[in-house]
Amino acid sequence: MADSSLPHLYALVPCAGIGERSGVNGPKQYAMLAGRSLVSHTLLALSKVKRLRQTLVVLSPQDRVFEAHAPEFTGWIAHVGGASRAESVANGLAELADRGAQLHDWVLVHDAARCLVRPEWVDALIDACIDDDVGGLLALPLADTLKQESDGRVAATVDRAHKWQAQTPQMFRLGDLQLALASADATITDEASAIEATGQAPKLVAGSIENFKLTYPSDFALAERLLRTR
């Protein structure tokens, strides 16, 4: 650890993607849902998590419209997004360190496209992981029968026992996550995978089915309905 002080908590939101599968015009994080942009809903929820010291949004170096889509955001932004999620997160961690975050501080990485996240879910993750040696992530136990596909047909039924669907936030120490991502390969799709590759076992914290990542056109219609009924 860099010092003996109590660790702070930071949120890091990678927001440099282009959302190719979303079916919306432009980056999906700027799509309008229930009167505000997708990313604005995400950041509003994080702003209500009182234990977060600061939120850093990682943007593409070419992004010049974030402020127009999230005018209420008062946290940090950095135009250091990379070609992959892992690169954007790694660059964001370096930015947090440059702004004073310590190696033993906690970083909660959250997808910009999980705009239905609720502050109480984030608080539950913090409560479960704040004294943990490794950290953890929100996730959902799988309930559906899983099929493995080959050429558009079922090749096998996969045992769903003990399988969880990873969500975000994912909460790890800044230093641990930096080291994990530095040694990760191109197949890493989330922070927990990088931590796992170092031999550590992240803690699974039950999330909500509503905390889904908006990816396909139908996801946006569902999120719109859910947001308007809250």
Q: What single-letter amino acid sits at 25?
A: N
Of 11, 221, 211, which Cα lies nearest the Cα of 113? 211
Q: Long-range contacts for 28-34 (Cβ within 8 Å, ≥24 apart)? A: 28/113, 28/214, 28/220, 29/69, 29/112, 29/113, 30/65, 30/69, 31/214, 31/220, 33/115, 33/220, 33/223, 33/224, 33/227, 34/224, 34/227, 34/228
Of 148, 144, 137, which Cα lies nearest the Cα of 160? 144
Positions in the chain short of pLDDT 50: 1-2, 21-23
pLDDT at 230: 85
Domains of the chain are 9-229 (3.90.550.10)
The two structure tokens encoding residue 133: 């040696």
pTM: 0.93
> Which spans in the chain are helix H?
38-47, 66-69, 85-98, 119-129, 174-182, 191-196, 217-229
Query: Burial letters for 2-34: b for 16+ Cβ neighbours within 10 Å, e otherwise?
Result: eeeeebbbbbbbbbbbebeebebeebbbbbebe
Cβ–Cβ < 8 Å for 43, 57:
yes
pLDDT at 123: 98
Cβ–Cβ < 8 Å for 168, 144:
no
